[in-house]
Amino acid sequence: MPAWEPPYRGLRVLDISQGLAGPSCASILAQQGAEVIKVEPPAGDWGRGIGWGLEGKCGLFIAGNLGKRSIAIDATRPKGRELLARLAQGADVVVESFRPGVAARLGLGYADLAARDPRLVYVSVNGYGQDGPYEKRPGSDSVFQAMTGLMRVNRDASGTPRKVGVLVADICTGVYAAQATGAALYRRATTGKGGHVEASLLEATTAFQAMAVVEHEIAGGKTVQPVAVPAATYATADGYINVTALTDPMFAKLAQAIGRTDWAGDASFAKVAGRLERRGEIDAGLGALFATAPTAHWIELLSRHDVLCGAVNSYAEMRADPQVRHSRILTELDQAPYGRILVPRLPGVPPEAAAAIRPAPGIGEHSIEVLEGLGATSAEIAALVEEGIVLAG
């Protein structure tokens, strides 16, 4: 195979966003070859303090900031804002995640920057959008999981809504924003015009659930029956297994695999409607059976009969999975202060290229380097550091 060519090589990105959604958008661009400069306040991106971590490098921050260089600037002061404007002038893409109106007050709004460079692709990531009744409200991943119906979709057996355990609203917003940025860059390549990309957590979390939202719409708001029986998780002798029979032939294969000739020959089990009526019986039978042997036994048996199944893994078990290891889905990076750690590889980036990605930076780790790249003299850099306009990590 030919050597991988990073598609965004030569692209200059200024990331003035914080948290996870905006930064992860910029990190996706970085991992595909873009030169991304992350601007933080001297105290650091507030995302550095979410969850456990050393030296401001928690899991959230590392995951959202791979591939970047960091400069720390005090944008509350005029010289800091001037410096930000200089950085923005050389950028192809600017990513921001302020509440509506804040970037404009800093002189970094879309109208300000596009007036100087009509080819600029300007990316705004926020909670509710640029306007509307909620534009000034604070928001978080849990808020958008609640608002968009995701917690209800993820309800437990008693009907109590539950939050998905990862920051899915932030993560999917970053992915959608990166996709829209790529589309805007393609438009720029074909027309010469930049543009304003807007992605809110509200719209992205809703779009993430498109299938369920459309199903609710076409069913007239009725509670839709499960699409398959079985489609559940069962305890085994040493863990858990998830088993699904999406179609009638799949159920027949499951019945054959576990030796339930009575199910295979029962006409009322031949169609999903009949299985729905006897769902309790099927689940009870499978639950009792799967509890008699280890997960590995059932995975081997069911896979041999082409039954959809998967072990319910911990992250440690996922990491040890032979297919995960073979596909090199996790890549090793030298991430200070932890040493070598495994991080998920961005899909589409080959393992060799992923292993060369910059680790997530410290606060202002590259401030001097970035200023030198702007053409600042040693005396100018020293003055900015002395005055506290720039923090050099």
For β-strands 339-344 and 330-335, DSSP reports them as antiparallel
- 206-257 pLDDT, tens digit per residue, is 999 999 999 999 988 876 667 789 999 999 999 999 999 999 999 999 999 9
- 6-28 pLDDT, tens digit per residue, is 999 999 999 999 999 999 999 99
**Whole-number pLDDT of residue 1:** 61
Structure tokens at 81: 């804002």
For β-strands 330-335 and 57-58, DSSP reports them as unpaired
What is each CA distance from 347 to 21, 319, 350, in whole angstroms?
Answer: 18, 16, 8
**Whole-number pLDDT of residue 225:** 63
- Confidence (pTM): 0.94
- 266-325 pLDDT, tens digit per residue, is 999 999 989 999 999 999 999 999 999 999 999 999 999 999 999 999 999 999 999 999
For β-strands 390-391 and 68-73, DSSP reports them as antiparallel
Coil/strand/helix, residue 316: helix
DSSP sequence for 126-166: ESS-SSSTTTTS---HHHHHHHTTHHHHT--TT------SS
- 49-64 pLDDT, tens digit per residue, is 999 999 999 999 999 9
- Mean of per-residue pLDDT scores for the chain: 95
Q: What is the distance between the alpha carbons of residues 133 and 102, in angstroms, rounded to a whole number?
A: 17
Structure tokens at 52: 């456990």
